[in-house]
């Protein structure tokens, strides 16, 4: 089965327009994310699922055509399903462009586990959040997403639901075989337990935090830093997290 990382990305963010191409250590942050994902041996393909909004033409300039897909700006579920279909992806590693610090070693572990348990439809480290927001990984079957898509037709709030992707599978435990990936089963994983830390890219203030982290490790020629490295850095330099403290974060139910 083909495993593909599908990265949903768009330029027209309401809180931070153009954030996916914001510079971090001399490169667009999306390019920094993709560069790291190339080192994940469990991923067969990396696809950028951008939108048909003309602004997203800027994203296409950084990636070859065989890594790009453009679809609906508002119906993100459909965009990801169509991208997976076009590129023959059976197992989706769901990543958003506003999570550039995602850990490739964590992805490898989750995908490996998922492939060993074909009875699973979905696995993630966010069913019961333990790690910082921004280190989220969801892995699921394409056919499960397609099935979840049909169920959203029955909901009055389907417009909001379809702005999300794997989350729609996770909120239907009666229909899908879900599993949470326990990061605390190892000593290293236990160090990551910090669900209140925010490492997503939603606001310009978040970019300062992300750039501080990338800068710390890239300057030391360690571009493949992992989650434990990040948390050790933040523990040593707690003032970094003051840079994006107190900002309001949207819940999935808000769209």
CATH numbers and ranges of domains, the chain: 3-254 (3.90.550.10)
Entry pTM: 0.92
* pLDDT one-digit tens code per residue, 127-181: 887 788 899 899 999 999 999 998 887 665 555 566 789 989 999 999 999 999 8
Q: What is the CA radius of gyration of the chain?
A: 17
Q: What percent of the chain has pLDDT over 90?
A: 71
* pLDDT one-digit tens code per residue, 62-83: 999 999 999 999 899 999 999 9
| Mean pLDDT in residue range 33-61 | 97
Q: What is d(CA 181, CA 120) in angstroms, rounded to the nearest whole number?
A: 12
**Whether pLDDT at 238 is above 70:** yes
**Whether pLDDT at 252 is above 60:** no
């Amino acid at each position: 089965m083909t495993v593909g990382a599908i990265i949903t990305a768009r330029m027209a963010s309401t809180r931070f327009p153009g954030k996916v191409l914001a510079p971090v250590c001399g490169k667009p942050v999306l390019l920094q994310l993709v560069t790291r994902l190339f080192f994940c041996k469990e991923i067969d393909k990396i696809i950028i699922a951008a939108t048909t909004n003309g602004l997203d033409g800027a994203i296409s300039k950084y990636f070859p055509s065989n890594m790009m897909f453009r679809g609906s700006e508002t119906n993100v579920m459909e965009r990801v399903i169509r991208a997976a279909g076009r590129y023959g992806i059976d197992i989706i590693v769901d990543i958003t462009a506003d999570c550039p610090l995602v850990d490739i070693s964590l992805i490898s572990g989750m995908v490996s586990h998922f492939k060993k348990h074909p009875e699973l439809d979905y696995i993630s480290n966010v069913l019961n959040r333990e790690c910082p927001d921004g280190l989220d990984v969801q892995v699921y079957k394409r056919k499960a997403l397609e099935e979840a898509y049909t169920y959203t037709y029955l909901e009055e709030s389907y417009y909001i639901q379809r702005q999300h992707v794997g989350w729609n599978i996770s909120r239907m435990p009666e229909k899908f075989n879900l599993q949470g990936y326990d990061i605390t089963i190892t000593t290293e994983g236990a160090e990551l337990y910090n669900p209140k830390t925010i490492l997503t890219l939603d606001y310009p203030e978040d970019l300062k935090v992300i750039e501080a982290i990338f800068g710390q490790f890239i300057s030391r020629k360690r571009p493949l830093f992992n989650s434990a490295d990040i948390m050790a850095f933040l523990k040593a330099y707690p003032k970094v997290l003051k840079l994006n403290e107190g900002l309001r974060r949207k819940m999935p139910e808000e769209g």
